[in-house]
Structure formats: C-alpha cells, structure tokens
Amino acid sequence: MFALGQTAAAQSTDANFPTNVTTNEIVGTIRARDVGDSRLTSYYYTFDGGQGDMFINVVTRNFAGDIDVFAAEGLRPLTKMVIFAEGGPSETGRLVYMRKPERLILRVQGRTPDDDPATFQIKFGGSFIAMAEKNDDKTPKLDRSETVSDAGIKVNSVGTIVAVIPKPQPPKKTVEPVAKVEKPIEPVAKAKAKPEPETEDKTPPPTVTVSENIPAANPPAKSETSVSPAKPPVKKAAGAGPSTIFSGKPKPKAKTAGATTRAAGIKTKAAAKPPAPPPPVTADPLASIHLVVLLKDGNKIEHPMNEVLKFSVDKGVLTVITRDGTITYPILDVAKVTISP
C-alpha cells in the first residue's frame, strides 16, 4: 500500500520527465477542470519491457480519453486504448508482444465529463519490468491551481478572475523637517550711472558789433553815416533793414577735417573713416587637383576637382557629374581612373 501510494502521488505531466513505475500497478485521479476549460489532462509514466508478451489491464471510472503505450526511442506507438465514460466502472486490456527488451512510455490522457473526478487503475503482467525508485525526483511539477498574476489578481485555469489581492503597501518614510537656513540679503546693486553727455562748450561765439553810427577817427562835420577813408566801407546785411549794419571783421575759418569745431554752441563730429578694402580672394585648393580618366584607346580626359560634383561606377558605367553636365564612360573602355595634382 505504501508503494502504491507513492506511485499515485507522483504523476508527471511532461513527456520529457515521465514518472518511474516502481510497481506493477498504477492508480491515479484526474480532477475536474473549471467550467469552460476544455483541455485534457495528460500523465506520463515510464517502465521497461522484456522480450515476450506483456499484459496491460485498465479499469476506469468516469474517465473519457485515451491510454497509449510508446517505445521511448522515437516515441513509436505500440498500442492504444480509447475509453468512454459510462455510468459505472469500465474495464479493458491489451496484449503487447515485445521482440526485444525496450524502454516504454505510458500516456494517460483524458478528462472527466462532469464535476466528479475520474479515476484509473492500470495493472501490468508478463514481461513487465519495474523501474528502480529514485530518491531525487527532478520531474518539474505544474501547478494547475489558481494562480496570482503580478497585478495581484487571482484567476483560475481559464482566466476567470476569482479574487483581487491588494498589493502590500511599502512603509511610509518619515521625513524629518530640515531647518531653513536664511541667506543674508545681499544689497541690491546700484544701477550703473548713465554716462553723462558731453558738455558743450559754452564759450560765447565771436561778438558782432552792430551799430547805426560807427565812430570814425576823424568824423566829418555834418555827416553821421560817413565812413573814414582809412577803413573799408561798411556793408549792409541783407534783410537786416536799413538800420542794421555788420562790421567788416572777417569770420573765423573752419578747422581741418577730422577735428571737431564748436561754433555757436553746435558740436560737429569728425568725418567718417573710409571703408576697409575687401579681403583678397584666395585660390581654390581643389583647382590644382585633377580627376584623370585614361581610356584604353589612349585618350586622356582631365577634370579639375573643383568642378567635379560626383563620380561613381554603377552597373558597368562610370558617371562623372561636373558643373557643366554629366559625362558617362563604359567601364570596359576605361583603363585607369586616378586623382593627381
């Protein structure tokens, strides 16, 4: 009974890691799946078969599916039993003739048609050879129970949400108050004083004497407007009226160009400097380099590189694009293409 319980508990669902059959009897159960889940449950077992006849007896209850026996090498099928669920227990069997000792794999694949679990019992006889029991079971186990996703949602095998598990909240971090450090108030920078405008020279302009009666060295006896013969005659200013007379003193001459003169309180700026001459034009360094195309017939074509925009070879044609246009040469006629000064 202890060995039988071990065989019933260890049921592999992976064909690469089948369960070792250590006794001549296998007892298993297939649970009912969720509503809407039409998948079949598969269990895999492995054992040895010697030369001769091997007897396999199967008793099932509420089980609908197949029971197959394969040769482990290449999974070559040896026998197949199709079982349908009935009201009571169902019993069937097979006789397998082994030509040589071989490792075998038994697959139980099916489901229950209702909510009750399905059970199966398989007995072996004849040339059946049980496997040695392993202490370390490396068979990966698939958990078909309800799973919980990363979002904390608990679902069943068909994806129906069963429950929502709230995520654990991380502990809140207490933030210690930081003492405020008051910065010293920096004095506001004084606005830059505006540059004082240049003070104009308030030197009074040269005075002009205007008089109706000009004193003479030897005034005549009867005429007040007569002018001394030693002095030049006095001219009347235009539009000044008959009573306004300018003296014959010459006006001061203007200073040379580039210097500022102040006359009558008005400031005159220096003359503008002449524009700088344009920089000398430098020669293009590419003008001294040439693209030389030497043809097989002896002709030689040269193009300055400052006039060549692009040259390439595409599908057996040499294309040279210059400022004047595009020139093409068949590559079979070209002996050499060089770039030389």
- Predicted TM-score (pTM) of the model is 0.43
Among the candidates 104, 129, 154, a domain finishes at 129
Please indicate whether residue 156 or residue 144 has the higher confidence score (pLDDT): 156
3-state SS, one letter per residue, for 276-324: CCCCCCCCCHHHHCEEEEEECCCCEEEEECCCEEEEEEECCEEEEEECC
pLDDT of residue 241: 47
Decide if 316 is inside a domain. Answer: yes
Distances (CA, A) of 230 to 202, 211, 218, 233, 251: 36, 19, 10, 9, 21
Span 164-219, pLDDT tens digits:
777 777 777 777 777 666 666 665 555 455 555 555 556 666 665 555 555 555 55
Pairing of strands 19-20, 41-61: parallel
| Least reliable range by pLDDT among 49-58, 110-119, 140-149, 159-168 | 140-149
How much is the average pLDDT of 111-122? 93
The per-residue pLDDT for 331 is: 85
Give pLDDT, residue 260. 46
Nearest Cα to Cα of residue 271 among 258, 260, 254: 258
pLDDT at 246: 45
CATH number of the domain that residue 300 is part of? 2.30.30
Rounded mean pLDDT, 143-153: 58
Structural domain that includes position 334: 287-340
According to the model, what pLDDT value does residue 187 have?
Answer: 57
pLDDT digits (tens, 9 = 90+) for 36-70: 888 999 999 999 999 999 999 999 999 999 999 99
Q: Which two tokens stand for residue 241?
A: 């009226």
Is residue 56, in this structure, part of any structural domain at all? yes
> How many structural domains are present in the chain?
2
Q: Report pLDDT for 61.
A: 94
**Per-residue model confidence (pLDDT) at position 93:** 93
Residue 315 resides in a domain: yes
Confirm whether 254 is domain-assigned.
no
User: How would residue 127 be classed by pLDDT, with cut points 50, 70 and 90?
Assistant: very high
